[in-house]
Homo-oligomer: A and B are copies of this chain.
Amino acid sequence: MFKSILLLILISVLSSCNNKKIDFAIVVHGGAGTITKASMSNEMELAYNQKLEEAINTGYKILEKGGTSLDAVESTIKILENSELFNAGKGSVLSNEEIVEMDASIMNGNNLNAGAISGVRTIKNPISAARLVMEKSDHVFLSGIGAESFAKSKGLEIVNNEYFITQRRLNSLLNAKKRDTLNDNKFGTVGCVALDKLGNIASGTSTGGMTNKKWNRIGDVPIIGAGTYANNNTCGISSTGWGEFFIRNVVAYDISSQIEYKNLSIDIAAKNTLNKVKNLGGSGGIVGIDKYGNIVMDFNTDGMYRALKKSDGSFDIKIYR
């Protein structure tokens, strides 16, 4: 009897250590896909690492000063949108019509507010438009020209579609058209999840979608529950991958609901969900933070651009498996 009580105390101490509350934390991804050391020049690798570091430090500093997780997520994603390296904002992939059409979403885990936009062609920073939809409209999800009018009416920076187009993505499109393929297995979607000092979790995701996409296709990124989800009681998640499979598996919310309903850890929940994606024939990855500050960065592709930073001193930037 006495031994059992001692064991119980030991278990509870150990589990509380495991769930030691982190003050604040941030995690970011720049897309998952067939990213291998063999296919990457040293210069490109350095460029990706530097941009990921700049992005995560931008968000981290906001959290460190007591800023909100929403501000950290938006500012971090803007850095990646403004960089040509990633498939979001400037440097987005091109549709079949040689146009950049972008999707983005953001969610506030404190009150489950959310905002999303799809198919926008002229908004310099789609993540900021998603946040405006969340905070300054009665809606969650606006699309196309309507979303652009809304963003313009709120004073967001509007640019020509040419601003987003790069030679690298034009070449990818020409290659995809030659092979008549949709999916080049390099998903460059960007995303970020942050936990601030007040315990509020926010998630955001931004993308140019799929090279050679047709018919105003919408992927998982602007779908709350698939591409993005945040809930202070469970976790925040941002997805990157083959969007159709992420929608069908309701990826971001499936991870959260395993934490809520099965009391699973965020890394086990994420593994289960990514296995579901794989079993249907899809691939990709996610980043997430749970309410204790535990971070997950998981994927079933060769690589995923990713970085994490926590108030306990943890810091990591990685590309390959």
Which A residues form the contact surface with B (CB < 8 A)? 112-114, 118-119, 137-147, 149-150, 182, 213-219, 223-226, 229, 243-244, 247-250, 253-254, 257-258, 261-262, 280
Are B261 and A216 interface neighbours, CB within 8 A? Answer: no
* Cross-chain pairs A/B with CB under 8 angstroms, 30 sampled: A112-B280, A114-B247, A114-B248, A118-B143, A119-B143, A138-B182, A139-B213, A139-B215, A139-B244, A140-B243, A141-B218, A141-B223, A143-B143, A143-B216, A143-B217, A143-B218, A144-B144, A144-B216, A145-B216, A149-B215, A150-B214, A150-B215, A223-B224, A223-B225, A224-B226, A225-B247, A250-B253, A253-B257, A254-B257, A262-B262
Q: A225-B225, A250-B229 are in contact. Are A119 and B144 (CB under 8 A)?
A: yes
Name the distance in Å between A120's Cβ and chain B's nearest Cβ: 10
Instruction: Give 14 new A-B contacts, CB below 8 A, not counting A223-B224, A224-B247.
Output: A114-B248, A138-B182, A141-B217, A141-B219, A142-B216, A142-B217, A146-B216, A146-B217, A224-B226, A224-B250, A225-B226, A229-B250, A253-B254, A257-B261
Residues of B within 8 A of A223 (CB): 141, 223-225
C-alpha spacing A216/B150, complex, angstroms: 10
C-alpha spacing A244/B145, complex, angstroms: 20
Are B224 and A140 interface neighbours, CB within 8 A? Answer: no
Task: Name the residue of chain B whose CB is nearest to the CB of A153.
Answer: B215
Residues of B within 8 A of A145 (CB): 216
Residues of B within 8 A of A144 (CB): 119, 143-144, 216
Residues of B within 8 A of A118 (CB): 143, 218
C-alpha spacing A243/B119, complex, angstroms: 20
Name the distance in Å between A278's Cβ and chain B's nearest Cβ: 13
C-alpha spacing A141/B101, complex, angstroms: 14
C-alpha spacing A101/B258, complex, angstroms: 36
Are B217 and A139 interface neighbours, CB within 8 A? Answer: yes
C-alpha spacing A147/B119, complex, angstroms: 12
Name the distance in Å between A70's Cβ and chain B's nearest Cβ: 15
Residues of B within 8 A of A261 (CB): 257-258, 261-262
Are B140 and A244 interface neighbours, CB within 8 A? Answer: yes
Residues of B within 8 A of A280 (CB): 112
Are A247 and B140 interface neighbours, CB within 8 A? Answer: yes
Are A215 and B147 interface neighbours, CB within 8 A? Answer: yes
C-alpha spacing A141/B223, complex, angstroms: 10
Residues of B within 8 A of A248 (CB): 112-114, 140, 224
Residues of B within 8 A of A138 (CB): 182, 244
Residues of B within 8 A of A143 (CB): 118-119, 143-144, 216-218
C-alpha spacing A149/B214, complex, angstroms: 10
Q: A112-B280, A215-B147, A226-B225 are in contact. Are A247 and B119 (CB under 8 A)?
A: no
Are B225 and A250 interface neighbours, CB within 8 A? Answer: yes
C-alpha spacing A187/B287, complex, angstroms: 36
Q: Which 5 A/B pairs are nearest by Cβ-Cβ distance?
A: A146-B216, A146-B215, A261-B261, A225-B250, A257-B257
- Could you say which of A113, A217, A219 has the most chain B C-beta atoms within 10 Å of its C-beta? A217
